[in-house]
Structure 1
Amino acid sequence: MIITDSRGRRAPAAIATVLAGALLLTACGRSAGPAPADADGAVAPSPGITDTTITLGTTSPLSGNAAGVGTCAVDGAVAYFEARNADGGIEFGDGKTRTVEFVAYDDGYDPQRALGNFQQMVGDGIFAAALSLGTPTNRAWREAAIDEEVPQVLVQTGDPLFSDPDESPWQLGLLPIYQQEGAAFGELLLASGEHHRVAILYQNDDFGLGYVEGFKEAVEGAANVEIVKELPFEATAVDVSAQVTELASSGADIFFNAMSSLAPLVIGSLQQADAVDWRPSWFLPSTSSSPAALLEPSGVADRFPAIYTTASSQSAGAPGFAETEDGAEFLAALHEHTSQTGVPSFPQCVWSWIGASVIEQAFRTMTEPTRESFMDALRSVSDFEAPLLLPGGVIDTTENGLPAMSSVVVQRYDAPGFIPVDALD
């Protein structure tokens, strides 16, 4: 379904069930007291929920350099909730069955637009905001969400701030925090026992700095890992060729590229390294390692010794994925309810499908039609074997400081996809 918001923008939407919930507010010195009752003594519902429907909002880059990942982040949730709606909706913990309306707003990966979108969501009466993509864009309206006491949950960012209930009482992250991913690769280098010279290119914001922080903490004091050069770039940059060329002069055998899924920059950095005949092994964040959308289009990915990333979910492009029960359900719903065709190029479709399944778990246990009850239910999910996680992975939202998905596995590019590894090649 396509919904046009009140400012005339067209945004993908889905019908699904969502409920809101409870969370004690601590950091701001507030305490969420009991929900008010109506004239009949029943708990008054929060905005955006009725006995039959619930409305969720999301802000994501549906235009600009990050439009591919932003659209995928929306479509996975759309597909999930539309499929549940087609089955009659979701039965909530209060015994009522509801369908969900999932309304998307385009922020173009611009923090100010993201803030404006949240303000529009509040005006439009959404119950909660969910699965929004991007670190700077989610950061831009975090304080506003706390002030308005509107859930901002399962956001698609590895920023640890969103998984700290004391600092962010109305928030919860979905993805492993960036420091975890950076540390996992650092530990892989340490375990190799060989000496490595590392060059770092990092996005100059919380995203890039988080990866670098985790990597540096993991290799601190290590005799076999030497950081020989590091350079920043701005997320608004249109080219990083100069930085890649300068880093190439370091002679590093490892390129730690802490870059978000800005397709022209990821592809351009691969091509520039090849052009200057620099052949390091690469580390790319999970958000920036799509074989179909980034590595294969570069035309040079197979010229490097290895390209590594981390993962906590299955890849829709992996051999045999479509033959599994969960994979077949995911692809069928995606093709039926969104404009996605074939296998999605970006992992964000899978991530938002997983996130939507976590939201459904919270709906099924929340007992009152309030945002406070929703938050209580959402922060009580544990040992949930969500669809499309890697084998052995579970969802646990009960650990302070950790997001819903908190385990990572290092993988190496092996066309057409990635394979898990426990040692550096």
Structure 2
Amino acid sequence: MKLISRMACITFVSVPLMSAVTSGSAQTRYETGATDAEIKIGNIMPYSGAASAGGAIGRAEAAYFAMINGAGGIDGRKINFITYDDAYSPPKAVEQARKLVEGDEVLFVFSPFGTPSNAAIQKYLNARRVPQLFVFSGASRFADPRNFPWTMMGWLPTYRLEASIHAKYLLKEKPLARIGVLYQNDDGGKDYLKGLKEALGEKAGSMIVAEESFDVAEPTIDTHIAKLKASGADTLIDLAPPKFAAQAIKRVAAFEWRPLHILASFSKSLGGVIKPAGLENAQGIISATISKDPEDRHWENDPGMKAYNEFLTKAFPEGDRRDSNSLIGYGLAQMLVQVLKQCGDVLTRENVMKQATNLKDFRSEVLLPGIKINTSSTNYTPVSQMQMIRLNGEEWEPVGDVISGDIDQ
């Protein structure tokens, strides 16, 4: 599957690629994927398969870039956004990454989705010195500038950091919790479990009573939910991607199990997870976020959310305003536009990484107040704070204050 931003479908005048100075300016430098007319960006999303709800991120990004192109682009250059479906399959992700780099000759790969797919393409992109920019995963392997200098995380905090925030919440609100953990059997799930145990400290042994891992190829997670209930856990930490998160919510209700249910931030989408699972089954679920909720009436008159709603109306009418993935795509696209503006006329892969690691107090106005994006050559984790939230009716409501994670990443 190949989706291209609507405005990016125009025919561009070809300009010879140069790695040195062009005739336009003594300071203008290009590499493969950039010309006077366009900036070619690659993307990989699960438009089909087990994590297809995440495809809304790519669609929102395409619509945002089309809007930017309609307003003249970035310094006169249009964004040519090429996005492919990997069906949440690591081998397919490798195939699509090679196609983007060797066939389409993109400048870099932006916001590829998911831990398994990104792990599969990480070594290839780093060996080719192609930025793997703003990865949509919380696995700490994507925030390792020493070993993978061309790979950088996006809006998701690392799973270890999110685990530390969940642990702080539990230690304060439910210090005698008996925890069952459901996690995907990959780097992300293992990172979270490690971070949870570190953050709970000496209480981890008594508080964590069961751990159930699953593989994405499994058709259902019913047996895992049954085992967690049988363990006597009164708290469920659910680290499943959208498809399996919806299954978990349904099965917990069907088993008449009533634990405190903590849902991973990447699966809290009302449109993509909660409503398909049944609102009545999900009441009281706890999650965490860094962004404003489009459905929260508290933000009705907020300038940032007004701009987002206008984007949905004018540029992305097919988007679901209840789906947090659409908002994530919007915010990630804004962050990338900031990086490209900072690049100026030096559109090389090296400068893209230099500017991506030089974001100072950047804010998309769909982020919660007080949450800012900061990066450096040694900090590839843009987000370090989260707000706990609880589902009440059809809205997520804040619980307590913004919490900072304190795990050494």
Deviation at 1:412, TM superposition (A): 1.3
- The residue aligned with 2:329 is 352
Query: Is the Cα contact below 8 Å between 2:249 and 2:281 reproduced in 1?
Result: no
Q: Does 1:102 find its partner at 2:81?
A: yes
Q: Does 1:37 find its partner at 2:20?
A: yes
Q: Map 1:13-92; keep pairs closer than 5 Å.
A: 13-15=5-7, 36-37=19-20, 44-70=29-55, 72-91=56-75
Q: 1:157 to 1:217 in 2, by over 3 A?
A: same
The 2-side partners of 1:83 and 1:364 are apart by 16
**What amino acid does structure 2 have at the position aligned with 1:37?**
A
Q: Map 1:3-402; keep pairs closer than 5 Å.
A: 9-15=1-7, 36-37=19-20, 44-70=29-55, 72-91=56-75, 97-122=76-101, 123-174=103-154, 175-192=156-173, 194-222=175-203, 226-261=207-242, 263=243, 265-299=244-278, 301-302=280-281, 306-321=284-299, 323-338=301-316, 340-345=318-323, 347-367=324-344, 368-398=346-376, 400-402=378-380
**What amino acid does structure 1 have at the position aligned with 2:85?**
D
- The residue aligned with 2:12 is none
1:187-227 CA-to-partner distances (Å, cap 9, x unmatched) read 11111364111111111111222222221111121289511
Secondary structure at the counterpart of residue 409 of structure 1 = strand
Secondary structure at the counterpart of residue 182 of structure 1 = helix
- The residue aligned with 1:418 is 396
**What amino acid does structure 2 have at the position aligned with 1:383?**
D
Deviation at 1:163, TM superposition (A): 1.9
**What amino acid does structure 1 have at the position aligned with 2:327?**
V
Backbone CA RMSD of aligned residues:
2.3
Query: Is the Cα contact below 8 Å between 1:195 and 1:224 reproduced in 2?
Result: no
Query: Is the Cα contact below 8 Å between 1:365 and 1:377 reproduced in 2?
Result: yes
Bigger drift between 189-198 and 48-57 goes to: 189-198
Query: Is the Cα contact below 8 Å between 2:46 and 2:86 reproduced in 1?
Result: yes
Secondary structure at the counterpart of residue 148 of structure 2 = coil
Query: Is the Cα contact below 8 Å between 2:130 and 2:150 reproduced in 1?
Result: yes
Scaled by the length of structure 1, the TM-score of the pair is 0.85
Deviation at 1:185, TM superposition (A): 0.9
**What amino acid does structure 1 have at the position aligned with 2:210?**
K
Identity among equivalent pairs (%): 27
**Higher normalized contact order (CA 8 Å, seq sep 6+, divided by chain length):** 1
**Unaligned stretches of 5+ residues in structure 2:** 9-17, 402-409
Aligned length: 387
The 2-side partners of 1:321 and 1:15 are apart by 30
Secondary structure at the counterpart of residue 408 of structure 1 = strand
Secondary structure at the counterpart of residue 400 of structure 2 = coil
Query: Is the Cα contact below 8 Å between 1:15 and 1:102 reproduced in 2?
Result: no
Scaled by the length of structure 2, the TM-score of the pair is 0.88
Secondary structure at the counterpart of residue 126 of structure 1 = coil
**What amino acid does structure 1 have at the position aligned with 2:237?**
F
**What amino acid does structure 2 have at the position aligned with 1:149?**
R
**What amino acid does structure 2 have at the position aligned with 1:133?**
F
Query: Is the Cα contact below 8 Å between 1:48 and 1:54 reproduced in 2?
Result: yes
**What amino acid does structure 2 have at the position aligned with 1:392?**
G
- The residue aligned with 2:15 is none
1:99-136 CA-to-partner distances (Å, cap 9, x unmatched) read 11111100000011111111000121111110111111
Secondary structure at the counterpart of residue 250 of structure 2 = helix
- The residue aligned with 1:94 is none
The 2-side partners of 1:86 and 1:230 are apart by 50
Secondary structure at the counterpart of residue 231 of structure 1 = strand
Secondary structure at the counterpart of residue 332 of structure 1 = helix
Secondary structure at the counterpart of residue 30 of structure 2 = coil
Q: 1:223 to 1:67 in 2, by over 3 A?
A: closer
**Unaligned stretches of 5+ residues in structure 1:** 1-8, 17-34, 92-96
Query: Is the Cα contact below 8 Å between 1:176 and 1:403 reproduced in 2?
Result: yes
